[in-house]
């Protein structure tokens, strides 16, 4: 049963600390997305990659957030320095090639709390 | 710009009732995709259906059915004979020509009571 995995599932950190979230997409999927869910904003896109190249990161605060795909099996989202307003659930999703990129499968999310 | 509106914030029904979740979308794209996702209390997002803009056939999967009407820009979701396990937040989403990213509605929280 292929699934997207995310680590850690929960993270509590203090303001100013660096946070790294990791995602392993479904094997064979070449499109990876990062979304953030908050009560106020709902689900919003932060960035996405195709074949490890960033295609759109316009939803990401550039000064503190960065997203990378070091290889096809790992995507990372970093926040440095973290702020209380970054508290949210961060979801990674992956999609297949071509038209199948539209069908996205989500990981369980990382619940981040910044105090 | 793309927009998805789920006007129903919360719905409460008694088990075995039928319930329809509304979704209205806006897009200038000629080709687009519509989706429904389920988010149960455990928090994960579960893919339910994808429909492309050229296929207006309604779809039925077990107790779930979807009604896509381009004339009214709506993609409504009906659960027949609801069950307690259907309690969740349901999201409608849209993706278009500009890329694969999903634009989500705010979600409808469905509570099914015994």
What CA–CA distances, in Å, run from A84 to A87, B87, B103? Answer: 6, 30, 25
| Among candidate residues B88, B107, B105, the one with its CA nearest the CA of residue B12 | B88
Regions in chain A scoring below 50 on pLDDT:
none
Instruction: State residue B1's pLDDT score.
Output: 77
Higher-pLDDT residue of A110 and B31 is: A110
Looking at residue B18, its pLDDT comes to 97
CB pairs under 8 A between A and B: 51
Could you give the CA distance from residue A32 to residue B44 in angstroms, rounded to a whole number?
17
| Least CB–CB distance from A48: residue in B47, B101, B105 | B101
More confident residue, B29 or B20: B20
Asked if B66 and B59 touch (Cβ cutoff 8 Å), the reply is: yes
Preferred mutation among B10, B32, B44, B45 to probe A, highest tally of A CBs within 10 A: B45
- On whether the CB atoms of residues B20 and B77 are closer than 8 A, the answer is yes
A19, A27, A48 from A79: Cα distances, Å: 5, 26, 16
pLDDT of residue B58: 85
**Residues in chain B whose Cβ is within 8 Å of chain A:** 33, 37, 43-47, 50, 91, 95, 99-107
Q: Indicate the pairing of strand B64-69 with strand B74-79.
A: antiparallel
């Amino acid at each position: 049963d292929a699934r997207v995995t995310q680590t850690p599932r929960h993270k509590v950190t203090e303001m100013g600390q660096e946070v790294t979230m990791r995602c392993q997409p479904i094997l064979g999927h070449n499109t990876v997305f990062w979304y953030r869910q908050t009560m106020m904003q709902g689900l919003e896109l932060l960035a996405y990659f195709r074949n490890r190249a960033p295609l759109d990161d316009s939803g990401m605060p550039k000064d503190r957030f960065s997203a990378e795909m070091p290889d096809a099996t790992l995507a990372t989202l970093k926040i440095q320095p973290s702020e209380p307003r970054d508290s949210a659930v961060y979801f990674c999703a992956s999609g297949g090639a071509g038209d199948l990129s539209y069908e996205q499968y989500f990981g369980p999310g990382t619940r981040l709390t910044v105090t | 710009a793309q927009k998805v509106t789920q006007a129903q914030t919360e719905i409460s029904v008694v088990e075995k009732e039928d319930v329809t979740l509304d979704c209205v979308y806006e897009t200038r794209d000629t080709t687009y995709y519509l989706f429904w996702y389920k988010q149960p209390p455990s928090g994960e997002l579960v893919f339910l259906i994808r429909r492309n803009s050229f296929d207006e056939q309604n779809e039925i999967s077990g107790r779930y059915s979807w009604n896509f009407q381009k004339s009214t820009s709506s993609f409504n979701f009906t659960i027949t004979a609801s069950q307690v396990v259907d309690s969740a937040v349901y999201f409608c989403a849209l993706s278009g020509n500009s890329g694969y990213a999903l634009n989500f509605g705010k979600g409808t929280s469905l509570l099914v009571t015994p």
